[in-house]
Amino acid sequence: LGYRASDDMAWHTDMAGEEGWLCSISLGATARFEYLPAAAPSARRRCVVQNEQPPVKVDLECGDVLLLQGGLLPHRIVGCTREPPPFFAGISAGTALCRVNIQVRLWGHDPSLSLGSLLEDGFQDERSERISAEGPGS
């Protein structure tokens, strides 16, 4: 995915790949990545969680790698710095891109880690209760 400095990506969950797992590699400018610290695999649940929990904010810099269960955790990009590192500026010369995100979707993982198995094992309720009891970021 290519990003211009003005680009954002709205709240979403990922179900491409097997059960939403993805590995994200950031190149170029630093991007602000946010995720909600509670399972919310549907738009309705995401709205509830957005009102209950503040997002966790992470700056993804050039070369950072993120492994995420994107099918459970809603996430978004809320902009990136205008100036990419010098080596990336040379690669992207002549384009408006300041950042590239390479995504690898995982296939063939252990079925016990599937979205369905996690929810059956109470991941959503257990995680929500723990966050409520301990507060966000615990």
- Determine how many CB atoms are found less than 10 A away from the CB of residue 134: 9
pLDDT in the model for residue 133: 46
- Determine how many CB atoms are found less than 10 A away from the CB of residue 120: 10
Are the C-beta atoms of residues 58 and 23 closer than 8 Å to each other?
Answer: no
pLDDT in the model for residue 98: 85
Condensed to tens digits (0 to 9), the pLDDT of residues 75-134 reads 899 988 878 888 887 777 778 788 888 888 766 566 666 666 767 776 554 434 444 444
Q: Tell me the C-alpha distance between 43 and 49, whole Å.
A: 10
Condensed to tens digits (0 to 9), the pLDDT of residues 1-19 reads 777 777 888 888 877 555 6
Average pLDDT over residues 22-51: 87
Are the C-beta atoms of residues 53 and 38 closer than 8 Å to each other?
Answer: yes
